[in-house]
Structure 1
Amino acid sequence: MAGQDYVPLYVAGTQASCVAGSAVTAGQLVQITGGTLVPGTPGVAGGQPNSGTVTPTVAPTSDATSAEVGVAANNAVAGQPVSVYFGGVHVLAASGSISAGDPVQAAASGAVADASSNTTYSQIIGRAWSAASNGFAVVRLAEH
């Protein structure tokens, strides 16, 4: 895995190696934008029909999305490896007012925003564990 500059408050999910599709910053909310599958080869040592590796490509969120989201663990420029936490409790940049308990959605620049009025439930990515303060909120990412 790539190095890490950011660690969540609580981990309850998966940390995966991804590739940055564009520049990402540690602690920024990212979404999966693509991925490459290298399937296993049956009959070759360790190769099973359902084996292989996948490398998701991620980029900072730009708006509400129903794509899988996570939090970047390190800074990376396009094409570099980036570790991403999918799940867990994180301190994230907040866009606008958020109250503790509010559902949240992805926002511009890898931030989160209040999703109380969003009726597209697949775009709700988690719940705030704190009110937004000084531009940040504690958020538990939903398990999808």
Structure 2
Amino acid sequence: MKLELIKYTCARCATSFDAPALGEDAYGEFLLRSKNGEMAYLNAFMDLTYKEVDNLLSSHPKASVLQPLERAKILRRIYGGLACDLDSEMSPFEIDALPLCPSCGSQQMASWEFKNPPEILDVPVSAVTHNCWSMLSDSEKLKLLDARLAIL
């Protein structure tokens, strides 16, 4: 997958480092990361679970009263841990999670910027999977969504 390098500066230790990300023009596409630094790709237009979770959220009593932008923020916040399979070390993937600082391991960044001129890398990134989610009944999916919304 073609990814663009971004220069990050860690908020914890001030280390500057480069890490791959989707380009600025990636609309409806997400690079999910886990706390272990693993990455997975999601095309929200092609992935049926993204729309499914969006529909569940839209009809949920707690979220249906929210403005669309607020509901979209919640969807992005809960989606990875709710509907995506875990990484190889059993940690959830998260949409918009930042990379790990190679020095201290933090995902808190003080700043980041796309390199100019752009530096493109070809990085092997698998599509996110949903095996566990797809084995759940509709009522089990709703219970999981309820539990996630309760802790927001």
- Fold match by TM threshold 0.5: no
Higher share of residues assigned strand: 1
TM-score, normalised by the number of residues in structure 2: 0.25
TM-score, normalised by the number of residues in structure 1: 0.26
Higher share of residues assigned helix: 2
